[in-house]
Amino acid sequence: MDMRNALRVMTVAVLVGTLGTLGACAPEAGEPSAADAGAAAETRTFDWKLVTTWPKNLPALGTAPERLAEIVGEMSAGRFTIKVYAAGELVPAFEVFDAVAEGSAEMGHGAAYYWRGKAPIAAIFATVPFGMNAQEMNGWLHYGGGLELWRELYEPFGVVPLAAGNSGVQMAGWFNKEINSLEDLQGLKMRIPGLGGEVLQRAGGVSVAMPGSEIFTSLQTGVIDATEWVGPYNDLALGLQEIARYYYYPGWHEPGPAIEALVNREALDSLPPDLRAMLETACRAVNQDMLDEFTARNAAALRTLVEEHGVEVRRLPDDVLARFAVLSEEVLDETAVTDELSQRILDSYRAFQESVRDYHAITEQAYLDTRDGVDR
């Protein structure tokens, strides 16, 4: 325990002692006072486990839950501790949702497109090909009804989702051959999760789902021909530049994926209101912090990839992107028709995207075009 925490614990101990003394003076002997009840509630401690889908020590995605745990520990002066486990330490990456649903871990950290086996529409709460960017996604989740729909979707599993990170627009991925036309995608085995994977499949490729920890070896040994992961900062950390030559953009398949914190419903309900508020506030803080970190680090990492590792950055051809866009709408429509809730989720997502698109056309987009397009 560092000095700051030690002081906080001492302060809480003194406060509890004072309240206990005051409480003992006022009521009749044997009668519990409000102060006693308050003091008892404040000394309860909670020690949670958080399992993640991320490789150990992975920057940003993997360190975000660590930061979340730190914030909660500091804010609660040690009353609420969260121990973070990387993928495979307690459960494999793709068993995180089940672990939280069953309560073997109180929390998880991952991305909703990993749980398409539970509900195919879940992928929308991570990201949608040609869908919303990070700023728009956060607007939908927190002010456009998205989070309520997300909670409704996970409700039958006893799991409560919170937004807890976003990578911003990702890169399209790593290839060892050039992609000049749709022909080059035929039979191509690519690690690509979520709805984007289904789009690739329909375009003639073969989509493979695997957690981050398996990507390097799979690409190196030819289990897959290509892969997407995140962006320069995370991809450099995984070492993908050592086994692939071409780095394609834009990340049509993941324009602003929400990273989620999963909380076991009963565990969440067991928290006193102050600790619950700390947890929710910490998630919100980490949600923004991850985007800030990616924004700052990706640009530098891209320079390193190009200048020190000779990576060739390429743009996907327009006709390939246009075909992906058409197929994306098909995939979305078919994913949503399965049930009423799925359709409601897709309708809400599309309506929000439509409404912000018109606004962003004359603000964010118009501004960037202007800033970077004018001659000086």
Number of residues that bind Ca ion (CB under 5 A): 3
- Contact region with Ca ion (CB under 5 A), list: 46-54, 83-91, 177-185, 220-228: 220-228
- Contact region with Ca ion (CB under 5 A), list: 98-106, 107-115, 222-230, 311-319: 222-230
- Note whether 196 and 254 are within 8 A (CB): yes
Which residue, 144 or 257, is less far from Ca ion as judged by CB?
257
- Note whether 58 and 234 are within 8 A (CB): yes
Rounded to whole angstroms, the Cα distance separating 97 from 51 reads 9
Rounded to whole angstroms, the Cα distance separating 51 from 148 reads 23
CB of 234 to Ca ion, least distance (A): 9
- Contact region with Ca ion (CB under 5 A), list: 180-188, 224-232, 269-277, 329-337: 224-232
Q: What is the x/- site pattern for Ca ion, positions 229-268, by CB under 5 A?
A: -------------------------x--------------
Classify 256 in phi/psi space as left (phi over 0), alpha (psi -120 to 50) or beta: left
Beta strands in the chain (DSSP E): 46-52, 80-85, 107-110, 159-166, 173-175, 189-191, 206-208, 226-227, 246-249, 258-264, 312-315
- Contact region with Ca ion (CB under 5 A), list: 41-49, 76-84, 166-174, 201-209: 166-174
Q: What is the x/- site pattern for Ca ion, positions 168-187, by CB under 5 A?
A: --x-----------------
CB of 215 to Ca ion, least distance (A): 10
CB of 294 to Ca ion, least distance (A): 12
CB of 254 to Ca ion, least distance (A): 5
Q: Which two tokens stand for residue 258?
A: 């929400």
Which residue, 170 or 287, is less far from Ca ion as judged by CB?
170
Neighbouring residues of 346: CB distance < 8 A, sequence distance ≥ 6: 121, 124, 332, 333, 335, 336
Helix (H) or strand (E) holding 134: helix 134-143
**Phi, psi dihedral angles at 360 (to 5 degrees):** -70, -25
CB of 258 to Ca ion, least distance (A): 12
Q: Which residues bind to Ca ion, rule: CB under 5 A?
A: 170, 228, 254
